[in-house]
Structure 1
Amino acid sequence: MPRRNTVTYNAMLSGLARHGRVDEARALFDGMPGRNACTACYNAMISGYAKSGRFDDAVRLLKEMPAPDLVSWNSALAGLTQSGEMVRAVKFFDEMMEKDIFSWNLLLEGFVRAEDLDAASGFFARIESPNVISWVTLLNGYCRARRISDARELFDRMPERNIVAWNVMLEGYVRLSSFEEACKLFEEIPDKNSISWTTIISGLARAGKLQEAKDLLDKMPFNCVAAKTALMHGYLQSRMVGDARQIFDGIEARDSVCWNTMISGYVQCGMLEEAMLLFQQMPNKDTVSWNTMIAGYAQGDQMRKAVGIFRRMNRRNTVSWNSVISGFVQNGLFVDALHHFMLMRRDIKKADWSTYASCLSACANLAALQVGRQFHSLLVRSGYINDSFAGNALISAYAKCGRISEAKQIFDEMVGKDIVSWNALIDGYASNGHGTEAISVFREMEANNIRPDEVTFVGILSACSHAGLIDEGLKFFNSMEKEYSLKPVAEHYACMADLLGRAGRLNEAFEIVQGMQIQPNAGVWGALLAACRLHKNDELAHLAAEKLFELEPRKTSNYVLLSNINAEAGKWDEAEKARASIKDKGAHKPPGLAGAT
């Protein structure tokens, strides 16, 4: 530029400071001719320092200013409150040479952001003439903290209410699902705007009150895409796809949220062809649209199509990579998952806890211990090591690689353990044949007031089965309903069939299967059939096999197992018949998905 003035410098300083390039801004500021005359430039630097957490530099520059104004003081104060430095912010506020209502509101907002509502309330009482922003700031804090009675008391005391205050109070009721109060308040709002309508319609739709939401939408005096999209989402959550599509077709100016909601709804309902058709019609596809389709095909066991969409993307983000990597893992393509992690690193996309969790799961299934350890090191360096999802994946990875002591060490070092963490450790002990240790973890879990779930009992029953702890397994199984109000599902019955079958108590195993409150699945009959071979009970084996053939008529391994049982019993004709059935019924192994890429 041939000539620069204070406006030019201020624009550059603000831009650099806003993007965290404070040292570059300071170098420019120091070289600025006649800077003492430019209060705005000082303020830009003070604000930049404060927002970057460099409060000492901000205060030092403030004190160097020839004539600091209210904006100067408020800029430094804003940096402190936005960074949560409330003790320092209060001290700075008390030292301020002059204050205005904006200063008071900054500190009030800081208390609300720090969720210290008692301090916020006390500070609010000190404001001599609070304006509507002061009232709304505290009101919003109460509503977000679900202190609805305090919010309502404050709302009723407000000397004037703008539409923001009405909408904040409305959102507070909706957040608590207090729809009777929400609808009553909605009717009282003098000048409802699009946010008012969207808030109440979205709340009703999320709660499944679809007819009430539809009635309100029909009364809406203007066109609001957000409100219509909210009702669409409600219909899709209830799998009322036709109703959702009817609303979608009636929207003329659709935004990306509207398109993505409908596409995502089709995906969640397993209607991938309809989703793809709509995706192709979408005029301005964003990253969310592409990622939704990748995840949809991956969950639908169509990895070739998922990878095809992934490759056509111009701009991929971390979610895009995670969708395809987790898709490979879900479909058993573990090597492909690890390969795509390497490609992700080349694409300079930062992995997150979800990436590491998927890759560790791949390592676990491949029993690739050394690769798993490399991911462990990456986790430590990335800072995600304390994330429960990543920690749980590490426990499973080490356990599946037979390193149960290392799995236990990860578990012990975890800061925030959840039910999945406990289940992963129990399952790890179970899969490594340490039944007594699994039971010990279960007892420790109870002592820590962690309530077991269905997955816990699959792990503990499996542990008892592998360790031959028959009586303990029976006690755990019987305690599910009596002590924990958990109804056994097919996986629990399969564990029991395996537990009793391994011990040779085949009749008891068969009685448990016959007494099931639900229909036995292939896992249950398969466990019984395997036990029959182990203890050479060909009579019961035929019964279990017949049930299996009905459920899995094309699975080769079932026919082979029955053939071997007959052969071991010397029933060669029966053995030959079972093998012949493989060709007659066209039984085969499901085709692998290797080479999907």
Structure 2
Amino acid sequence: MIAIATATLKPFILHNANICKKSLHTNTITNPKSALRFPLTSLQCGAILQSLTNTKSTAQGRKLHACMLTCGNLQNNTYLSSKLAAFYAACGRMIEAQVIFDGVALKNSFLWNFMIRGYASGGIIAYKALAMYRKMLRLGIVDNFTFPFVLKACGDLGLSEMGREIHTQVEVCGWDSDVYVNNSLLAMYLKFGNLDVARKVFDKMPDRDTTSWNTLISGYVRNNNAMEALMIFYLMGKAGLKADGTTLLALLSACVDLAAIKQGKEIHCYAIRNNYVSSNEFLMNSLIDMYSNCNSVAVARQLFEELKIKDTVSWNSIISCYQRSGDAFESLRLFCQMLIEETAAPDEITLVAVLGACEKITALQFGKSVHSYLTKTGIFLNSFLGTALIDMYAKCGELSCSHHIFCEMTQKNMVAWSAMIAAYGIHGRGKEAISVFNEMTANGISPDEGVLTSVLSACSHSGLVDEGKKIFNEMTIKYDIKPGPAHYLCLVDLLGRAGLLNEAYELVKRMEVEPSADIWAALLSACRLHRNIVLAEISAQNIFRTNPTRVSSYICLSNIYAAMKQWTAVEKVRTTMRNYGLKKPAGYSSIELDSQVHMFFVGDKSHQQTKDIYAKLKDISWRLKEKGHKPDTSSILYDVNEEQKEKMLWDHSERLAIAFALLNTPPGTKIRITKNLRVCADCHTVTKLISKLTDREIVMRDNHRFHHFIDGICSCGDFW
């Protein structure tokens, strides 16, 4: 018996035996990490092993093992051998545990259970726990301590059929009244996603402890049934049980899923009343995350500032909070603060949030710095980070960088393919998007709904009507995917932009499901482009029936009336907007220069270079007039004279940003601008002319797509 163990474990025994003799000196058995005098009795060794098992002190246990072998304590000692095998199993050292286990002649259920526990906790080797359980079953030594870890192994491996078989054996053996066994059954069925059976197990339990309630609540949250999780919590209170930190963490996750700020506040109050908040940093982080996901930015920030120790999770929650809420500037400022304070290191979640903030305000230089940071720090470019970089570069106008990152990625998941297709799409490179799509399918990857949405959207931005219709028609036949609202939206947008309004309208009427407000809005937008009032009014009526406060649709309808000079109808729409308290969002443009982002609003005179900017615009205006440019005032939807309309055009934010860039960058420098609204027809024409006049490339991102202006031509082909 001992000969086998010694031979197999010889490498570390020889290494540790001398160390053990030199360094272990006695203190007390209650302090096993301190050293021991020799020789030790079996009882002393057993007590120390038990203590080391509890603390999982692998290094100290190895030293003790070497000492016991040297001193002969293990020879023919089943008690100590069992204890030693159990120690290694508890530490996850299953190779050593198995060697010692195989050498024990008389194995009791204690030792078997420890081995099963070790294998069940070992990830992919959990199947060995089930093999050992089969042997125990044949020997007839299964007890209530066996089942919890066998059931855990079934749950982790997804073996639902075997799990049900073991459930039957639990009942046959009479352990279906044991609370620990029942908790394990509950956890297993919840891992399978079988909520109905899990609830039946829970309802039949004669005794329930806090773990029982926590397991059920957490299981409902993981299985996307957050509302039921909150209901279980209220039943828990009625049953007289007090929630602990684990309960509250699960409940806060449920509130995040539901965006349930009211219930989240109630849980926060409960945590304060029971003194959980100050002592539980995990709970504080979850509270910050809950408030940020429920758009309570101020409360999330207050809790963040109250944290004494801010770890990576804390920083991630607050950085993501500002990024989601639209305050990209504060998100980036917090990231800089995180790096300065050095209380926690950014991880991939941090960097994805920061890259998302960069893309919102086209902060290309900041985004490049983040890319450089992750490269220098050796953070692995997985599909998660790679996709974020593809998005950032694409939305900052550097499509070539997106393509480079995409080619560099060794692991491309479906989201990465979709991101690259979408990147080409927003830049009006529909044919390249289709090429990537074809490359993906040629590699044997079948597209999902998201990829098909991206490629259809790319067709829409490029006016590829035939290609878009072909892909849409192939969805069901070739890919066995039924078109959803997002796919119909892309096709309606594609047909509408191409002027095929009647075909788009017929498509909407043929939909098997109720058309969404977004689909009607796409048709309404197409009616604005092609000035079809009749179909515009039909579209608007369908939008307002389900969403009477959709401000963008009121503005679009008002613009259509104004373009047709139907001022009475315009005023009627504006009156309705006032009655609902709706306002048109202020137009603004932003530009990054020397690591600073400058923002300009319509008619903005707050910038320190205002005089120079307007002087530059006046000069450009005169030069364009000399070239024969006549302003297109159709986008000025106010009943004023032409001179006033022309002046209003030159107040548009993108022109202010262009003038600022011309004043502050060397000749030939590429200009990058982000605009929050759709660029108007005259600004589009003027920007083309400025690109030719100044010999500059101007990249403009509006809320629909990218425009690359070079030598008087735009990449969109005037199709936007």
Which residue number in structure 1 is paired with residue 333 of structure 2?
A: 339
In 1: Cα distance, 2:366 partner to 2:281 partner? 31
Listed one character per residue, the Cα deviations across residues 393-437 of structure 1 (whole Å, up to 9, x for unaligned) are 111111111212211221222232211111111111111111111
Listed one character per residue, the Cα deviations across residues 462-492 of structure 1 (whole Å, up to 9, x for unaligned) are 1111122111101111222222232322222
Give the paired residue count: 519
**Residue 323 of structure 2 corresponds to residue 329 of structure 1:** yes
- Letter paired with 2:234: R
Question: Quick check: 403-412 or 547-556, which moved more?
Answer: 547-556
CA contact (8 A) 1:112 1:137 kept: no
CA contact (8 A) 1:39 1:68 kept: no
Question: Quick check: 347-356 or 245-254, which moved more?
Answer: 245-254
Q: Of the candidates 288, 292, 297, which is equivalent to residue 298 of structure 1?
A: 292
Q: Of the candidates 156, 161, 164, which is equivalent to residue 137 of structure 2?
A: 156
CA contact (8 A) 1:270 1:300 kept: yes
In 2: Cα distance, 1:252 partner to 1:137 partner? 31
**Residue 164 of structure 2 corresponds to residue 180 of structure 1:** yes
In 1: Cα distance, 2:485 partner to 2:311 partner? 39
Q: Of the candidates 541, 545, 565, which is equivalent to residue 546 of structure 1?
A: 541
In 2: Cα distance, 1:468 partner to 1:190 partner? 67
In 2: Cα distance, 1:193 partner to 1:394 partner? 52
How far apart are residue 256 of structure 1 and its match? 1.7
In 2: Cα distance, 1:275 partner to 1:128 partner? 54
- The percent of aligned pairs where both chains have the same amino acid is 30
Which residue number in structure 2 is paired with residue 377 of structure 1?
A: 372
Change (3 A) 1:564 1:248: same
How far apart are residue 109 of structure 1 and its match? 5.7
CA contact (8 A) 2:475 2:483 kept: yes
In 2: Cα distance, 1:487 partner to 1:394 partner? 31
In 1: Cα distance, 2:220 partner to 2:22 partner? 61
Change (3 A) 1:263 1:464: closer
Which residue number in structure 2 is paired with residue 213 of structure 1?
A: 201
In 1: Cα distance, 2:529 partner to 2:503 partner? 16
In 2: Cα distance, 1:196 partner to 1:309 partner? 39
How far apart are residue 443 of structure 1 and its match? 1.7
> Greater helix share, 1 or 2?
1
Change (3 A) 1:414 1:127: farther
Which residue number in structure 2 is paired with residue 246 of structure 1?
A: 235
Which residue number in structure 2 is paired with residue 11 of structure 1?
A: none
Q: Of the candidates 154, 169, 184, which is equivalent to residue 199 of structure 1?
A: 184
Which residue number in structure 2 is paired with residue 408 of structure 1?
A: 403
Change (3 A) 1:381 1:195: farther
In 2: Cα distance, 1:591 partner to 1:270 partner? 28
In 2: Cα distance, 1:168 partner to 1:448 partner? 41
TM-score, normalised by the number of residues in structure 1: 0.75
3-state SS in 2 of match to 1:231: helix
Q: Of the candidates 209, 215, 232, which is equivalent to residue 230 of structure 1?
A: 215
**Residue 265 of structure 2 corresponds to residue 276 of structure 1:** yes
Listed one character per residue, the Cα deviations across residues 185-212 of structure 1 (whole Å, up to 9, x for unaligned) are 3332669865323212333455212442
CA contact (8 A) 1:329 1:358 kept: yes
How far apart are residue 546 of structure 1 and its match? 2.5
Q: Of the candidates 305, 310, 313, which is equivalent to residue 311 of structure 1?
A: 305
How far apart are residue 578 of structure 1 and its match? 3.4
In 2: Cα distance, 1:571 partner to 1:590 partner? 23
Alignment of 1:447-526 (within 5 A): 447-526=442-521
Question: Quick check: 462-471 or 529-538, which moved more?
Answer: 529-538
Change (3 A) 1:106 1:392: farther
Which residue number in structure 1 is paired with residue 254 of structure 2?
A: 265
In 2: Cα distance, 1:469 partner to 1:154 partner? 65
In 1: Cα distance, 2:572 partner to 2:23 partner? 97
How far apart are residue 374 of structure 1 and its match? 0.5
Structure of larger gyration radius: 2
Q: Of the candidates 151, 174, 178, which is equivalent to residue 170 of structure 1?
A: 151
How far apart are residue 315 of structure 1 and its match? 3.2
Listed one character per residue, the Cα deviations across residues 334-362 of structure 1 (whole Å, up to 9, x for unaligned) are 11111111222234211111000000011
How far apart are residue 591 of structure 1 and its match? 9.9
How far apart are residue 460 of structure 1 and its match? 0.2
3-state SS in 2 of match to 1:327: helix
Question: Quick check: 149-158 or 377-386, which moved more?
Answer: 149-158
Change (3 A) 1:477 1:113: farther
3-state SS in 2 of match to 1:547: helix
In 2: Cα distance, 1:195 partner to 1:451 partner? 44
**Residue 105 of structure 2 corresponds to residue 129 of structure 1:** yes
In 1: Cα distance, 2:367 partner to 2:442 partner? 31
3-state SS in 1 of match to 2:365: helix
CA contact (8 A) 1:204 1:213 kept: no
CA contact (8 A) 1:464 1:499 kept: yes
3-state SS in 1 of match to 2:445: coil
CA contact (8 A) 1:506 1:532 kept: yes
Question: Quick check: 522-531 or 162-171, which moved more?
Answer: 162-171
3-state SS in 2 of match to 1:346: helix
CA contact (8 A) 2:255 2:290 kept: no
In 1: Cα distance, 2:24 partner to 2:339 partner? 46
Q: Which has the higher contact order (CA 8 A, sep 6+)?
A: 2
3-state SS in 2 of match to 1:519: coil
- Letter paired with 1:304: A
TM-score, normalised by the number of residues in structure 2: 0.63
3-state SS in 2 of match to 1:383: coil
CA contact (8 A) 1:329 1:361 kept: yes
Question: Quick check: 450-459 or 348-357, which moved more?
Answer: 450-459
In 1: Cα distance, 2:97 partner to 2:431 partner? 53
CA contact (8 A) 2:371 2:389 kept: yes
In 2: Cα distance, 1:130 partner to 1:410 partner? 60
How far apart are residue 131 of structure 1 and its match? 4.1
Change (3 A) 1:180 1:362: same
Question: Quick check: 295-304 or 133-142, which moved more?
Answer: 133-142
Listed one character per residue, the Cα deviations across residues 202-227 of structure 1 (whole Å, up to 9, x for unaligned) are 3345521244223333x12xx62212
In 2: Cα distance, 1:103 partner to 1:228 partner? 34
Change (3 A) 1:136 1:417: farther
Which residue number in structure 2 is paired with residue 395 of structure 1?
A: 390
Alignment of 1:547-586 (within 5 A): 547-586=542-581
In 1: Cα distance, 2:21 partner to 2:449 partner? 70
How far apart are residue 125 of structure 1 and its match? 9.4
**Gaps (5+ residues) in structure 2?**
1-17, 27-31, 76-80, 588-720
**Residue 343 of structure 2 corresponds to residue 359 of structure 1:** no
CA contact (8 A) 1:388 1:421 kept: yes
CA contact (8 A) 1:430 1:459 kept: yes
In 1: Cα distance, 2:386 partner to 2:166 partner? 41
Which residue number in structure 2 is paired with residue 256 of structure 1?
A: 245
In 2: Cα distance, 1:378 partner to 1:268 partner? 32
How far apart are residue 274 of structure 1 and its match? 2.7
Superposition RMSD on alpha carbons, in Å? 4.1
Change (3 A) 1:257 1:372: same
In 2: Cα distance, 1:436 partner to 1:442 partner? 10
CA contact (8 A) 1:39 1:67 kept: no
CA contact (8 A) 2:393 2:399 kept: yes
Listed one character per residue, the Cα deviations across residues 517-570 of structure 1 (whole Å, up to 9, x for unaligned) are 222223212221221222222222222222233344334443332233233334
- Letter paired with 1:508: E
In 2: Cα distance, 1:224 partner to 1:591 partner? 56
- Letter paired with 1:197: N
How far apart are residue 36 of structure 1 and its match? 7.2
CA contact (8 A) 2:322 2:331 kept: yes
CA contact (8 A) 2:403 2:420 kept: yes
